């Protein structure tokens, strides 16, 4: 069995600590983004964000959201996040029942969870 040097141990520890630290940076996670979009669909900012990134269609339900990256917003509260989303939609143009796309939106922490803003 190979002997692990102190340098190798230190490198492995640094990678693990960095990975875990990224999970607790204060930004919303995928489930937070999915919930914030889904709770604000009817006439709210969630619908506006999804229209912007999926096209002029009405989203009935956010099926899945996957966070790509979040950075602290500059000059405004919250985080600007890029994410992928899959939504159940109503489209008069092509009758599609599901659309997916890459989106960008600003999310703010509230007392009851995360909310999505109309603008970045």
Provide the total of helices (H) and of strands (E) in the chain, helices listed first.
3, 4
- Please name every residue paired with 116 in a beta bridge, in sequence order, or none if there are none: 107
Q: At what angle do helices 45-54 and 30-39 cross, to 10 degrees?
A: 110
φ, ψ dihedrals at 8, nearest 5°:
-65, -45
Segments making up each domain of the chain, as ranges:
26-116
Can you give the pLDDT of all 120 residues of the chain as single tens digits?
556 566 655 545 544 444 343 445 799 999 999 999 998 788 889 999 999 999 878 888 999 999 999 999 999 999 999 999 999 988 776 676 899 999 999 999 999 999 999 888
Token code pair at residue 39: 């709770």
């Amino acid at each position: 069995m190979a002997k692990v040097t102190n340098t190798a141990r230190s490198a492995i520890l640094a990678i693990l600590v960095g990975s875990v630290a990224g999970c607790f940076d204060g930004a919303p996670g995928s489930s937070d983004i999915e919930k914030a979009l889904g709770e604000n669909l009817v006439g709210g900012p969630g619908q506006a964000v999804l229209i912007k990134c999926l096209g002029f269609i009405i989203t009935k339900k956010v099926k899945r959201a996957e966070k790509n990256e979040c950075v602290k917003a500059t000059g405004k509260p919250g985080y600007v996040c890029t994410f992928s989303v899959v939504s159940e939609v109503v489209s008069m143009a092509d009758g599609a029942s599901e659309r997916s796309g890459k989106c960008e939106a600003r999310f703010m922490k509230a007392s009851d969870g995360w909310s999505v803003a109309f603008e970045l």
